[in-house]
């Protein structure tokens, strides 16, 4: 086509340049009050600013080259480094002149630039068409760099990090609680949904009842579902002997867990049915011809062939649960939602971020990991054909 | 059908004549507090809730379908991998987090809710529209070209009608998510049906929680059902002429 620049690259460069005109950091006299925005060139000394802005611009310029995906990827890393450098130095610089209670937060300009750079990175990685191993490597690399960055204290001057420091213990508890809610309900949903899915696949009558009931549950808005669980589990806790002792009560962990479990069942059951349905009849027939018994056929032929679709169902559930577990914060179920809703109540933006950003990160990592798992489960199928 | 009418009747009753249901909610209310949410009329909350969802979904539909049309034309083709990546990443963003992140940028009230609903609603519609528009049967497209239809005619008379059921399924997914997220919107001071639920949670009044939950749940189920009916109708209409041709 004779095209020498990448059109998405042009889009990123234009958006990136436009984002530079927005305030990069916000300086506020204390945690709650409205702040004052500072443009990218106002936040730090001239050397730092020029170095950082050059890195950002050079990185975005690398993104213009369509035929070099590795260079585009390197460019996105360079931009990201410049962005974080400016963020870290700018925060320290702005705080240096302000009072003890002053807070510095990333502003619209930073978030826009970050999104643009991340999109460039995603676009470049897409162009590389990485296999599962490379993707896992890149994910580890990015997470490692993020961990190093947080551990090094380069971002400690930023307000969300200050919120974190006053709540480090609570944050750890919330993290475990969030993971327990999301993964625990996934585990139980798989334990119930998997046999149910096999049964539904074999017996049309079971299928005709379970799937509509489960999709009905799925349509109920999450807040309503969490709310309705409260009286139900409160009643169970009050009437069933021993239920209260194991922690079943109207508010807290139990109703959140059950609500997530109910949402998880549909993807697990539906994908198990679809996965088993997608197994070619010829394969099952061949297995029967080889003299395999029913269970042998199931474990060595049907299940491995259905696995990618079943795992894709688990991916949907995991990502969905990590997001929905935030609502547990409203009914005392813990997790990152606690910070989000506390932050909303106190109009403390940084507290909201402290809850929302880890949730987003966790959901993204879960999505990428599960995509890799689904792909690894796939090749057995393709390899047979080649 | 009877079940549908019964549910609709129950919904209308709960919204329009809430005090007729005192007997139903009284057992759940703590002593000496009201069983029926009366700080705002449930009707106005319902209308507001539906208006938010409708506005956001309508805007999302227009933008998402336009974008899908753009990336399936030759001029927009270079943006196609990128748009796939964005939809994939975007859908892993939790709707609640999108809502929470919209607040620092836009303040409290209906605005962040509307924006979050719109942004999140784009993704399922775009994904479905893209799939539908890029998997049209090549022979049909060839026939349309052979008939001498120009690009706009092909789009309006062949591509969009063929893609309509799948696009509609995307709109359904998006509207369902929007209904749920709008409920949570009341935590950022948008006036929606989440209000009784939140008020109930704060005052330990389970009756309020149940009222809000039931109304939102009924709305969701009925709207979902209506969408499925329309989708089936569209698919039926499409199948008939094909069947006739085969016969």
Q: Taking the domains of chain A in order of start, what are their residue ranges?
A: 7-161, 168-385
A330 neighbors A227 (Cβ within 8 angstroms): no
Q: What pLDDT score was predicted for residue A3?
A: 55
Average pLDDT score, chain A: 85
The count of other CB atoms within 10 Å of the CB of residue A142 is 15
Residues 6 or more apart whose CB falls under 8 angstroms from that of B184 comprise A222, A223, A327, B95, B96, B99, B194
Cα A368–Cα B116–Cα A175 angle in degrees, nearest 5? 45
> What pLDDT shows up at residue A250?
67
CA atoms within 13 A on the CB side of B8: 10
CATH architecture of B39-246: Orthogonal Bundle (1.10)
Confidence at A269, pLDDT banded by 50, 70, 90: very high
Across all residues in chain B, what is the average pLDDT? 82
Please name which of A114, A121, A267 lies closest in space to residue A193, comparing C-alpha atoms.
A267
- pLDDT score for B125: 92
Partner-chain contact B85 A119, CB within 8 Å:
yes
Task: List, for residues B158-173, the tens digit of each pLDDT value.
Answer: 888 888 888 999 999 8
The CATH fold assigned to A168-385 is MetI-like fold (1.10.3720)
* Residue B31: band (very low, low, confident or very high) from pLDDT cuts 50, 70, 90: low
Written as one string, the DSSP assignment of B59-79 is HHHHHHHHHHHHHTSGGGGGG
For residue A170, what are the CA distances in angstroms to A343, B83, B163? 14, 38, 49
Q: Do domains A7-161 and A168-385 have the same CATH topology?
A: no
Q: Which position has the higher pLDDT, A227 or B1?
A: A227
pLDDT tens for A183-207 read 999 999 999 999 999 999 988 888 8
pLDDT in tens, A45-72: 788 888 888 888 888 888 888 778 888 8
CATH 1.20.140 fits A7-161, yes or no: yes
Among candidates B103, B117, B105, B86, which has minimal Cα distance to A22? B105
A6 → closest Cβ in B78, B91, B100: B78
CA angle A11, A17, A20 (to 5 degrees): 140
Q: Percent of chain A, pLDDT > 70?
A: 95
For chain B, domain boundaries: 39-246
Cα–Cα–Cα angle for A354, A17, A139, rounded to 5 degrees? 45
For residues B121 and A259, give the distance between their C-alpha atoms in angstroms, rounded to a whole number: 23
Smallest CA–CA distance from B75 into chain A, residue? A7
Binned at pLDDT 50, 70 and 90, residue B247 comes out as very low
Asked if the model's pLDDT at residue A386 lies above 80, the reply is no
Q: Which of A223-232, A233-242, B11-20 has the highest mean pLDDT?
A: A223-232
Residue B94: its pLDDT value, please?
83
Tokens 């890195």 label which residue? A55
Is the sign of the CA dihedral B170, B173, B176, B178 positive or negative? negative
Can you list the alpha helix ranges (DSSP code H) found in chain A?
A: 7-19, 46-62, 69-96, 108-128, 132-152, 159-166, 168-202, 204-219, 222-239, 253-277, 281-289, 294-297, 303-324, 337-345, 349-377, 379-385
Average of per-residue pLDDT across A284-299: 87
pLDDT in tens, A93-123: 887 776 777 888 888 888 888 988 988 888 8
Nearest residue on chain B to A123, alpha-carbon basis: B82
Shortest distance, CA B138 to any CA of chain A (angstroms): 23
For the residues A322-342, what does the mean pLDDT come to?
A: 88
Cβ neighbours of residue B67 under 8 Å, at least 6 residues apart? B83, B122, B126
Of the candidates A252, A253, A377, the one whose C-alpha atom is nearest the C-alpha of residue A314 is: A377
First to last CA, chain B: 33
Q: CB A7 to CB B200 under 8 A?
A: no
Contact of A9 with chain B, judged by CB distance below 8 Å, is answered with no
Contact B221 A127 (CB under 8 A): no
Residue A336 has pLDDT above 80, yes or no: yes
B105 CA to chain A: closest CA distance, Å? 8
Interface of A with B in 198-257 (CB under 8 A): 216, 219-225, 227-228, 230-231, 234, 250
Nearest by CB to residue B184, choosing from A7, A228, A327, is A327
Dihedral sign (CA B197, B198, B199, B204) = positive
3-state secondary structure (DSSP) of residue A314: helix
Contact A31, A99 (CB under 8 A): no
Measured CA to CA, the distance from residue B102 to residue B32 in angstroms comes to 39
Q: Is the pLDDT of residue B180 over 60?
A: yes
Other residues' Cβ atoms within 10 Å of the Cβ of residue B147: 11
pLDDT of residue B3: 78
Confidence of residue A222 (pLDDT cuts 50, 70, 90): confident
Regarding predicted confidence, which is higher, A42 or A367?
Answer: A367
Read off the tokens for A183: 């993964």
Is pLDDT of B242 > 60? no
């Amino acid at each position: 086509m004779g095209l020498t620049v990448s059109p998405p690259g042009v889009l990123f460069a234009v958006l990136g340049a436009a984002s530079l005109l927005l305030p990069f950091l916000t300086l506020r006299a204390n945690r709650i009050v409205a702040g004052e925005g500072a443009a990218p060139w106002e936040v730090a000394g001239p050397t730092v600013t020029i170095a950082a802005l050059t890195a950002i611009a050079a990185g975005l310029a690398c993104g213009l080259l369509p035929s070099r995906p590795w260079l585009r990827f390197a460019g996105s890393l360079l931009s990201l480094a410049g962005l974080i450098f400016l963020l870290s130095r700018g925060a320290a610089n702005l705080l240096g002149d302000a009072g003890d209670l002053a807070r510095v937060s990333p502003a619209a300009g930073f978030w826009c630039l970050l999104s643009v750079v991340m999109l460039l990175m995603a676009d470049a990685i897409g162009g590389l068409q990485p296999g599962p191993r490379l993707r896992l490597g890149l994910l580890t690399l990015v997470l490692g760099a993020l961990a190093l960055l947080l551990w090094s204290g380069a971002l400690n001057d930023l307000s969300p990090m200050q919120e974190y420091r006053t709540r480090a213990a609570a944050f750890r508890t919330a993290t475990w609680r969030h993971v327990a809610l999301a993964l625990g309900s996934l585990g139980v949903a798989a334990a119930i949904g998997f046999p149910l899915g096999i049964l539904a696949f074999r017996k049309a009558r079971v299928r005709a009842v379970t799937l509509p009931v489960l999709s009905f549950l799925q349509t109920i808005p999450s807040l309503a579902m969490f709310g309705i669980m409260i009286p139900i589990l409160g009643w169970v806790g009050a009437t069933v002997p021993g239920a209260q002792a194991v922690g079943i009560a109207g508010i807290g962990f139990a109703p959140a867990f059950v609500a997530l479990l109910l949402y998880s069942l549909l993807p697990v059951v539906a994908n198990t049915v679809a996965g088993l349905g997608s197994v070619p009849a010829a394969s099952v027939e061949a297995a029967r011809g080889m003299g395999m018994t029913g269970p042998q056929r199931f474990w060595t032929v049907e299940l491995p062939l259905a696995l990618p679709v079943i795992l894709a169902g688990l991916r949907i559930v995991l990502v969905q649960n990590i997001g929905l577990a935030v609502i547990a914060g409203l009914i005392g179920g813990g997790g990152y939602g606690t910070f989000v809703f506390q932050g909303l109540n106190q109009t403390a933006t940084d507290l909201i971020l402290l809850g929302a950003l880890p949730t987003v990160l966790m959901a993204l990592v879960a999505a990428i990991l599960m995509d890799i798992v689904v792909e690894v489960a796939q090749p057995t199928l393709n390899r047979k054909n080649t | 059908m009877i079940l549908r009418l019964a549910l609709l009747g129950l919904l209308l009753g709960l919204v329009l004549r809430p005090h007729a249901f005192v007997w139903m909610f009284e057992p759940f209310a703590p002593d000496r507090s009201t069983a029926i949410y009366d700080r705002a009329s449930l009707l106005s909350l319902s209308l507001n809730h539906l208006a938010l969802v409708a506005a956001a979904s309508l805007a999302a539909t227009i933008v998402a379908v336009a974008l899908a049309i753009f990336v399936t034309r030759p001029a927009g083709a270079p943006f196609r991998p990128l748009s796939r990546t964005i939809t994939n990443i975007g859908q892993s963003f939790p709707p609640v987090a999108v809502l929470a992140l919209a607040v620092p940028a836009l303040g409290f009230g209906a605005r962040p809710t509307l924006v979050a609903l719109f942004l999140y609603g784009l993704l399922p519609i775009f994904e479905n529209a893209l799939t539908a528009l890029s998997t049209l049967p090549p022979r049909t497209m060839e026939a349309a070209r052979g008939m001498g239809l120009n690009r706009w005619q092909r789009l309006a008379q062949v591509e969009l009608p063929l893609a309509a059921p799948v696009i509609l399924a995307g709109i359904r997914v998006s509207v369902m998510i929007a209904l749920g997220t709008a409920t949570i919107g009341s935590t950022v001071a948008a006036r929606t049906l989440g209000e009784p639920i939140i008020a109930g949670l704060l005052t330990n009044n389970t009756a309020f929680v149940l009222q809000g939950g039931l109304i939102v749940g009924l709305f969701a189920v009925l709207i979902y059902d209506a969408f499925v009916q329309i989708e089936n109708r569209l698919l039926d209409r499409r199948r008939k002429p094909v069947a006739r041709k085969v016969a």
